[in-house]
Structure 1
Amino acid sequence: MDTSGIKAVVFDCDGVMFDTAQANRKFYNEILKCFNKPPLDDEQFQNIHMMTVTTAVEYLFPEMDDHRPVYEMIKSIGYASVIPFMLMEPGLLELLDNLKQAGLVRGVATNRTNTMGKVLIEHKLKKAFDIVVTASDVANPKPFPDQLEKIMDAFALLPRQIVFIGDSIYDQKAAESAGTWFIAFKQPGLQAHAHAVSMAEVGELLKLSKYNS
């Protein structure tokens, strides 16, 4: 991976910036419980981890023609209740600071929708990013390239001037379609230009060591 021309580093949220397994499982299990359905099995959890809320609801409640009761329950319970259970990836703050010192654009491309703002506020990351693009900001969520293309347009960047860090096949396909560099985070099975298992390793791949204190 040639890092010499990189001008922006874009992060997926769930599974990259945060370990959201406990929070997401807790939230969706609460919804399922309200409709007398069993808790998520491992396959279901792996799938909803990549999905927008809309797609997840359709996936978990295929027998329902009208999903309005589910959305009403989601609104009633509110994702904010489980945001504190999201665990920030160690080294994220240091990496973001190093990216800022290096003069690189810091972005987020996530299939979250209206919960992303609450996540950033709760974990004091509101000012840590130059641009945040959610599924509700574009016509098509990941695996489509719309989010990455929106970031490119916002900063007049070429595809190879962006590195996208993700952990799902949706992220991989979005990067492939957009033509950006892709770092797979803690997912050795994904096809990527590079793989990393920690934020420190991402920093090394991006040759940010000179900014470390």
Structure 2
Amino acid sequence: MDTAGIKAVVFDCDGVMFDTAQANRKFYNEILANFNKPSLDDEQFENIHMMTVKAAVEYLFPEMDEHRPVYEMITTIGYASVIPLMLMEPGLIELLDAIKLAGWVRGVATNRTNTMGSVLIEHKLKKSFDIIVTASDVANPKPFPDQLEKIMGAYALLPRQIVFIGDSIFDKKAAEAAGTWFIAFKQPGLKAHAHAVSMGEVGELLKLRKYNS
């Protein structure tokens, strides 16, 4: 991966910025329980991890022609109660500071929708990013490239001036379609330009001064 021309680093949220396993399981299991359905199995969890809420609802409730009752339940339960269960990845803030020091754009491209703002506020990260693009900000969520293309457009960047850090096949496909660099985070089996298991390793891959002094 050639970092010489990098001008922006973009993060996926779930599985990269945060370990959201406990939070997401609790949230969706509570919804399923209210409709007398069993808790998520591992395959279901892996799939909804990549999806928008709409796609997750359609996937978990295929027998329903009308999903309005599910969305009403989601509104009643609310995601806010599980946001504190999201565990920030160690070293994230230090990496974001180093990216800022390099003069690069710090972005988020996530298939979350209206919960991303609350996540950033709860974890005191609102001022740590220059641009946030959620599934509700584009016509097509990941695996389509729309989110990364929106960031390119906002800063007049070329694809190879962006590094996208993700952990799912949706992230990989979005980066591939957009033509950006892709770092797979904690997913050694995912095809990528580079792999990392910590924020420190990401910093080393990006050749940031803090990590290569």
TM norm. shorter chain > 0.5: yes
The aligned counterpart of 1:88 is 88
Partner of 2:137: 137
Return the alpha-carbon distance in structure 2 between the equivalents of residues 20 and 43 of structure 1. Answer: 16
Residue aligning to 2:36: 36
Aligned to 1:115: 115
Partner of 2:19: 19
Q: Report sequence identity in percent.
A: 87
> Is contact 2:204-2:212 (8 Å) kept?
no
Give the aligned partner of residue 71 of structure 1: 71
| Counterpart-to-counterpart distance in 1, 2:211 and 2:19 | 26
Report the counterpart of residue 3 of structure 1 in structure 2: 3
Question: Over aligned residues, Cα RMSD in angstroms?
Answer: 1.0
Alignment of 1:55-204 (within 5 A): 55-204=55-204
Aligned residues, how many?
213
CA distance in 1, matches of 2:212, 2:14: 25
In structure 2, the residue corresponding to 1:127 is in which secondary structure?
A: helix
Native 8 Å contact 1:13 1:109 kept in 2: yes
Instruction: Provide the rounded CA distance (Å) in 2 between the counterparts of 1:79 and 1:142.
Output: 21
Asked if structure 1 preserves the Cα contact closer than 8 Å seen for 2:108 and 2:129, the reply is yes
Aligned AA for 1:93?
I
Q: How far apart, CA to CA, are the structure 1 residues paired with 2:190 and 2:156?
A: 28
Conservation of the 8 A alpha-carbon contact between 2:165 and 2:183: yes
SS at match of 2:165: strand
Q: Describe the shift of the 1:116–1:212 C-alpha distance in structure 2 as closer, same or farther (beyond 3 A).
A: farther
* Kept after mapping to 2: 8 A contact 1:18/1:89: yes
| TM-score normalised according to structure 2 size | 0.99
CA deviations over 1:75-100 (Å, ceiling 9, x no partner): 00000010000000000000000001
SS of 2:128's partner is coil
Letter in 2 for 1:148: L
With normalisation by structure 1, the TM-score equals: 0.99
CA distance in 2 between counterparts of 1:181 and 1:45 reads 27
Structure 1 residue runs of 4 or more that deviate by more than 6 Å after TM superposition? none
Q: Which whole-Å CA distance do the structure 2 matches of 1:26 and 1:56 have between them?
A: 14
Question: Structure 1 residue 209: deviation in Å?
Answer: 3.5
Query: Residues 101 and 211 of structure 1 are in contact (CA less than 8 Å); yes or no, is this contact kept in structure 2?
Result: no
State the AA in 2 paired with 1:12.
Answer: D
The Cα shift of 1:23 comes to 0.2
